[in-house]
Every structure is written in C-alpha cells, then in structure tokens.
Amino acid sequence: MSINNLLHFEAIITQNILSPWLLDSQSRLSLLRLDLLHPIISGNKWFKLQFHLAHAVQNNAKIIATFGGAYSNHIVAAAFACQQSGLPCVGFIRGEQSQELSHTLRDAMSYGMQLRFVSRTLYREKENIMQQYPHYYWIPEGGYGITGAKGAATILSHVPNLDSYTHIVAATGTGTMLAGLIKGANSKQQVIGISVMKGNTALEQSVHQLLDGNETASFHIEHDYHFGGYAKHPPQLIEYINQCWKQFHLPLDIVYTGKAFYATEQMIRQHTIPAGSNVLFIHSGGLQGNLSLPVGTFPFS
C-alpha cells in the first residue's frame, strides 16, 4: 500500500539512554522511536490500522468509520491513513460539539474525515450506532481488537537484535498494542504494560482476549503509574517530561509515553526489572496530544 512509502521505518531504530540509574543497575535501555515514523501518523496507531485498511480495500468498502474523543491519537491517524488510502471516513466523536474544535479534530477534518458528534450517553451504546450504518467498515474505538493486535505484532519486526532484549515495556490503553508485542516477543522475554488508566481491572482480560494461546512471552501489567487517571497530568509529570527532554532529548507525551517512561525508570531503580537487564522501551508516539496544553509547557512539540 502507498502509505508504507511515506513511513520512515529507518528513523525508528533504537536510541540508547545513558543515565546513572542505568549504570547503578548495570542495565541497558533502548528506545524504539515509533514517534519518528511519520509527522502525522506517528506511533502505534498506524500499526493497529494497517490490516483494517487492507481489509477495507480488499472488500471494496466505501466508507470507513470509527470512534474517538476530541484528543484521540487514533482519530487523527485514521483520518490521515484513510485519506492516503483514498477511503472516505467518518469519525463518531464523543460529546457535543464545542464552540472551538480541538486541534485534533481540526486536523482530522483537514484530512477529510467527516465528524459526527454523539452525546456521551449515546456514545456508550456504540453497537446501536454501528447497527444504523451496517454498510460502513467499522474500526473499533482506539483500534482495539484482534485485527489491531495482529498489526501491532509487526512492530517488533523493526527492532534490530530483538532477541537480545530481556524486557519490553510499553504504555497501555486498550491493551491492543500490548497483545501485539506479546505475539511478537519470544519465550525468554517479559512484556510489561503500563496502564495509563486508574484501576482498569479489566485490562488483563482484554489483553487475553486478543491472544490465541500460541504466544510464548510472559507479560504483566503495572497499574500504579497513572498519575491520577487517564489524561491527568499533575505538575510532577510535566516536570518529569521536561527533565527527560533536557537529559535525553527525548520528547514524551502526557497521556501515554511520559507515564510509561517514568514507570520504566522507577522499575529499573527499584529492581522490579532486575539488575543486568536489557530493556526495550516502545515510544508509541502520541505527541500531538501535548497540543492540548498551554503553549510553552514543553520546549518541543
């Protein structure tokens, strides 16, 4: 498909982090920079969309439809990817239309996505909405599902010396990317998901539902690094992200990667990830989400 030619797979190759806490634990930490894949469809969202778009084209789908909130990385990625694939698309957006559209929604519209605003009550009943438009090709909210996980499983095929890593860490929302990473990892590797939601006790089950039993890697989910809940960003997190930019020239976002990178540092410091490990952190993108912050909050983005 033509989009693949737009993507900078050569740019995402790992960055090594140097820091006293890594020296102390005699561990190594590399980052897979999916944020550098493309300025618009950055991060994991393209991987989760790729097989949906391929199916839609194969099945002659006329219109793609999906769900998301006003700051959704998935909405922007879907809008752009559909435009590039020549597929019209509709985004069902949670909540009433506000006076001023978010940058996310403005961008999505500029890539040709048609927006339909749905009250929060109706949004909860997604099945009803889908039934009203049976001829659409539906992509679940956030790209959750087996098709998305299959796409996410291809992420690790871009990692040189993949087998040398002992741990693979990534931010987790719906669990789709995590399921893909578990599929792509080997039996000696530990996959660790950092849940960005507060008390999302259904997450383990959601991940298991996307696995088929042939996976050999072990995995677990950390639930204590949500910083107050989904998209919550207390000053401590803002400060941490600024510090990572200064120290490592690493841009992080407030919803996903900032929390996951913080968790990775803590796990290495506290030896939850044992000394002598070789850790791969997946930078899953999402930097557009920082545009919801006041200008100047971070020197990047």
Ligand X SMILES: *Cc1c(COP(=O)(O)O)cnc(C)c1O
Q: Return residues touching ligand X (CB under 6 A).
A: 43-45, 73, 142, 171-178, 256-257, 284-286
Minimum CB separation of residue 45 from ligand X in Å reads: 6
Which residue in the shown chain puts its C-beta closest to ligand X?
286
How far, CA to CA in Å, does 244 sit from each of 19, 37, 89, 208? Answer: 11, 20, 37, 33
Nearer to ligand X, 65 or 173 (CB): 173
Minimum CB separation of residue 180 from ligand X in Å reads: 8
What is the rounded distance in angstroms from the CA atom of residue 68 to the CA atom of residue 65? 10
Nearer to ligand X, 25 or 185 (CB): 185
Matching residue, tokens 């789908």: 61
Q: With helix as H, strand as E and coil as C, how does 146-207 read?
A: HHHHHHHCCHHHHCCCHHHCCEEEEEECCCHHHHHHHHHCCCCCEEEEEECCCCCCCHHHHH
CA 109, 51, 157, 271 torsion-angle sign? positive
Nearer to ligand X, 78 or 178 (CB): 178
Minimum CB separation of residue 275 from ligand X in Å reads: 27
The phi and psi torsions of 199 (rounded to 5 degrees) equal 60, 40
Nearer to ligand X, 49 or 279 (CB): 49
* Residue 285 amino acid letter: G
Minimum CB separation of residue 177 from ligand X in Å reads: 4
Minimum CB separation of residue 245 from ligand X in Å reads: 16
Among residues 258, 260, 285, 282, the alpha carbon closest in space to that of 43 is found at 285
Minimum CB separation of residue 219 from ligand X in Å reads: 12
Number of neighbours of residue 203 by Cβ within 10 angstroms: 19
Nearer to ligand X, 35 or 265 (CB): 35
Nearer to ligand X, 25 or 30 (CB): 30
What is the rounded distance in angstroms from the CA atom of residue 33 to the CA atom of residue 281? 9
